[in-house]
Amino acid sequence: MATLEIRDLHVTVGTGEEEKEILKGVDLTISAGQTHAIMGPNGSGKSTLAYSVAGHPKYTVTRGSVTLDGEDVLTMSVDERARAGLFLAMQYPVEVPGVSVSNFLRSAATALRGEAPKIRTWVKEVKAEMSALGIDPVFAERNVNEGFSGGEKKRHEILQLSLLKPAIAILDETDSGLDVDALRAVAEGVNRVSASGDVGILLITHYTRILRYISPDFVHVFVDGRIAEEGGPELADRLEAEGYERYLKTPA
């Protein structure tokens, strides 16, 4: 059972006089079979946490540790982190012109598994997952994210998640810009992956609407680069009713 441990994580962005500390001591443990939701106002550092764990060069870890099953994630390259079992679904997925979805997915699976999946088995697997997500089969021959709608981009991210089967999946505002049908399809895809019990999920969101379809085991409120409060699904319900105002008030 995979476990991602984040301890006293401090992260900055920029250099010299432009350097700014975004994460100010984050502690978080995510294990396979668990779904964690991180909620918080815009600018609180939620996406910085995601990209720092994934290895984005824009962010500098100044203190703390990140380990996956005891292995030091911070010493790994981005590729090594992916092969170790970390998966990041980005808020704004990038276009990859000239690369079809089918080729991209098989190449990714080959890189992770160390060998190319057998064509016949792989095609069946891809078709089954696409059907479950309500994706037209023609989608497989389109270039990755090129001309995709917001909903198509997010469904493609969940298609990757379903096929690549990582140990820990970080989903950065997967609900952003989705209509109700796309939101439901994406949430059902996440729930199918979660039901396997083999994947730990960190769901980063600003709103509670996706939590109507995905029930987290743990909810963490992120404010000013730190976890301000933790609880169960009932905490999300309270945030829906009260918002983040009480966390943002400055003591007199």
The structural domains of the chain, with segments of one domain joined by +, span 3-248
Q: Are 208 and 239 in contact (CB under 8 A)?
A: yes
Sign of CA dihedral 173, 99, 190, 117: negative
Helix axes 150-164, 101-113, angle to 10 degrees: 30
What are the pLDDT digits (tens) for 84-106?
999 999 877 888 889 999 999 99
Q: What is the pLDDT along the chain (252 residues), one digit of tens a residue?
A: 899 999 999 999 988 888 999 999 999 999 999 999 999 988 899 999 999 999 999 999 999 999 999 999 999 999 999 999 999 998 778 888 899 999 999 999 998 888 999 988 999 999 999 998 888 888 889 999 988 888 888 889 999 999 999 999 999 988 888 888 889 989 999 999 999 889 999 999 988 889 999 999 999 999 999 999 999 999 999 998 888 888 887 554
Predicted pLDDT at 251 = 54
Backbone angles phi, psi at 185, to 5 degrees: -65, -45
**DSSP SS3 for 203:** strand
Q: How does pLDDT run across 129-153, given as a tens digit for each residue?
A: 999 888 888 888 999 998 888 888 8
**Are residues 19 and 10 in contact, defined by beta-carbon separation less than 8 angstroms?**
no
Mean pLDDT for all residues in the chain: 91
Residue 154, SS3 per DSSP: helix
Residue 81: other Cβ atoms inside 10 A: 22
Q: How far is CA 190 from CA 13, 92, 129, 150, 215, in A?
A: 31, 18, 12, 17, 11
- Which CATH superfamily hosts domain 3-248? P-loop containing nucleotide triphosphate hydrolases (3.40.50.300)
Q: What is the pTM of this model?
A: 0.91
pLDDT score, position 87: 95
